[in-house]
A and B are shown apart, each in its own frame.
Chain A
Amino acid sequence: MSLISTETEAMHRQDRGAKKPIRLFRNLNAKVAALPMIFTALVIFIGCTLWTIYHSFTKSRLLPAPEKWVGLDQYERLWSTRRWLVSIENLVIYGACTLVLSLVIGFTLAALLDRKIRGENIFRTIILYPFALSFIVTGLVWQWILNPEFGIQSIVQSLGWERFAFDPLNNGQIVIYGILIAGIWQGSGFIMVIMLAGLRGIDQEIWKAARVDGIPAWKTYIFIVIPMMKPVFITALVMIASGIIKVYDLVVAQTSGGPGIASEVPAKYVIEKMFEAQNLGQGFAASTMMLVSVLVVLIPYIYLQLGGSRRG
């Protein structure tokens, strides 16, 4: 936060110093160079988003049909489709658990590594390594690990606990937790690295002061260090949140939505309605709902960022 606020302050100072007529032409080269990107942002991101939202109100099938306006029909059908409701429910469970667990595990691992342990590089590499795998690979690996005939269940059973049962991927009630385990395994290393960078940014003087006052390390972390790491947490939060909303490949690789429709997620619904069911309108309606959920995450973030700097 402090970095961003000093930047904006610097910009404000420059703005005040500049004469009005020159302002548009200042840094002309840079502005011209930025034009393609501005154009891309306007046309590709905003333009295509608006196009998608518009077509979600039409009865487009395989091809976009802007003239077949049907109002909110697609949304009504969407919210009365059981598969979509199950998808949303799964996203909420997966999202809430991922958010909390990634932050807690990521921060704990970072704090442990930050205690100046021997072989930090090795541990850091090991923990970060799953992040180098794609979700497809992660999903397949965990499909095998959680397979009752080859994975954890059979290993524990062969060790003597013969009635041990752990088969989440074939049980519709808990299948989403099986996916969650894989997601956390893949993603928490990355959060750890972000957290570790944040911890390294904490001034050593603060640790010394806390030690002089006799505050135990865990209290220092919770009451002093974490509040100081707010920007790092917000960054991590946005990373995790965007990862949650777009979760797709992990599910496809691990369960392909099964058993039944028990592990369906919204992104999968969008893809399948658009391309397999040849119903663009329905897919667009679902993706618009996903956009809304992204905005729900992003707007508070932008508000926090901008609001913070204004106060600063």
Chain B
Amino acid sequence: MTTLLKGFLASTVLTTVASVSSAVELEVTHWWTSGGEAAAVVEFANAFNATGNTWVDGAIAGSGGTARPIIISRILGGDPMHATQLNHGRQAEELVEAGLMLDLTDVAEAEGWKEIVNPSSLLDSCTVDGRIYCAPVNIHSWQWIWLSHKAFADAGVEVPGNWNEFIAAAPALEAAGKVPLAMGQQPWQTAGAFDVMTIALAGPEVWTDVVMNKNADAVQGAAYTEVFEAAATARTLAANSNVQDWNLATNLVITGQAGGQIMGDWAQGEFALAGKTAGVDYTCLPGLGVNQVISTGGDAFYFPKQDDPAIEAAQKELAALLLSPEVQVAFNLKKGSLPVRGDVDLSTANDCMQKGLEILASGAILPGSDQAFSPDTQSEIKDLMVEFWNDSTISASAAQERYADIIANAD
């Protein structure tokens, strides 16, 4: 026993010396629990374990809405995990300001994140007072509509190429007994879909003016009137899709019961899982086929501050690893998201991801609304949207009025 222990200790010391940093267990929390997501996380875990450290997985079931309060209360409650997923943007703003997060600036400088992270806005979202506090790992864009070839074939119409053609094809879909637009009724989905319609129909300039500059007068303008009317139309088209979860709504599209769904690029994982091929079974239109723009929200890892220098070293090692080219490729191919660095080879990605990569390369990008609004303002928008999408008695103009109010008080 003692010799075994000694031998073990000796080998540990040896590996410690060999890999400079000592072997440490890091507990990592995240909310990636669906099939494709879990497979993607394993890529991180394997890469980290290969360095001699141990990745202790702390997956929290449920969406970000469930997981974030748990993560934040653990950090505030003095029981911080060693690393955690959050959406980069303003969710961790106050935690950083309160000095609860590890400063990663030296890692970022050593690894040259400033040069490799594309778009640079991702790194800006991690930056507070010139210091970098998080490691962005992927880019998720919301601006997609997913169309079912089967549904349109059954209805006897062509698969539309943009939003207006989609609206024009809706009566035929309805006549064929299809739900034109699948829409899960959770608040984040309706709010997200509205945001997508705004960028597509009002255009990126007006959107930027409202969302980034908080210009409430622009909300009262004609461009937004058009968006709210389109949203009211979409509301009638979605009236019969009685589902809550986004993947159930996606499933309506996959099975051809619904014509299309406005959803972020993570929907792609569901199509892949169902064995569908882009361009043959389904079509994806970035920016609803109108404005080919994608927003660059996504996920990032934050590292809550610890007292132990060994753990701190391991945290920094993990941060560097997350952005390394091999890990970026392996992770993002599984996740269906775009890598945060432009210098990696993703030729094996499918059609939809290629479209996303092209737009990313062309620079037609906007920040995600996570980066623009505080969680408080976002929750107000969600409250308005979920009410608007579910209650057909609220007119487009009434909703526009209330949206302008929220923007006027937004922060």
Contact = CB atoms under 8 A, between A and B. Distances in A.
Interface of A: 61-63, 81-83, 170, 172, 256, 258-262, 272-273, 275-279, 282
Contact of A279 (B95, B376, B386): B376
Contact of B73 (A83, A261, A275, A279): A275
A82 B391 CA distance: 13
Contact of B390 (A61, A63, A262): A262
B94 A260 contact: no
A275 B391 contact: no
Nearest to B386: A260
A246 B47 CA distance: 46
A277 B242 contact: no
Contact of A277 (B76, B244, B376, B390): B376
Given A83-B383, A258-B185, A62 B95 contact: yes
Contact of A260 (B65, B68, B390): B390
A61 B387 contact: no
B22 interface: no
B391 A258 contact: no
Contacts, number: 67
A259 B69 contact: no
Contacts of A258: 185, 244, 386, 390
B94 A62 contact: yes
Interface SS of chain B: helix, strand, loop or mixed? helix
Contacts of A81: 383
A256 B243 CA distance: 13
Contacts of B73: 275
Given A62-B72, A62-B94, A63-B94, A277 B375 contact: yes
Contact of B375 (A82, A261, A276): A276
Given A63-B94, A260-B389, 16 more contacts: A63-B98, A256-B186, A258-B244, A258-B386, A259-B390, A260-B185, A261-B386, A273-B376, A273-B379, A275-B68, A276-B379, A277-B378, A277-B380, A278-B72, A278-B374, A279-B379
Q: Which 3 pairs show the lowest CB-CB distances between chains A and B?
A: A260-B390, A275-B69, A277-B379
A83 B378 CA distance: 14
Contacts of A172: 390-391
Contact of B391 (A256, A260, A282): A260
A94 B192 CA distance: 32
Contacts of A277: 375-376, 378-380
Contacts of A275: 68-69, 72-73
Nearest to A282: B376
A276 B387 contact: no
A261 B76 CA distance: 30
Size bin of chain B's contact surface? 20 to 34
Nearest to A86: B387
Contacts of A278: 72, 91, 94, 374-376
Contacts of A62: 72, 93-95
B376 A260 contact: no
Interface string B294-313: 00000000000000000000
A172 B391 CA distance: 8
A256 B184 CA distance: 13
Nearest to A277: B379
Nearest to A80: B405
A303 B72 CA distance: 42
Contacts of A262: 390-391
A235 B91 CA distance: 45
29 contacts: A61-B94, A62-B93, A62-B94, A63-B94, A81-B383, A83-B387, A256-B186, A258-B185, A258-B244, A258-B390, A259-B185, A259-B391, A260-B386, A260-B389, A260-B390, A262-B390, A273-B376, A275-B68, A275-B69, A276-B68, A276-B379, A277-B375, A277-B376, A277-B379, A277-B380, A278-B91, A278-B94, A278-B374, A282-B376
Contacts of B93: 62
A226 to B, nearest CB: 43
Contacts of B91: 278
A63 B98 CA distance: 9
Contacts of A279: 375-376, 379
Contacts of A256: 186, 244
Contacts of B76: 63
Interface string B396-410: 000000000000000
Contacts of B375: 276-279
B145 to A, nearest CB: 23
A278 B379 CA distance: 9
B176 to A, nearest CB: 21
Contacts of B380: 277
A273 B376 CA distance: 8
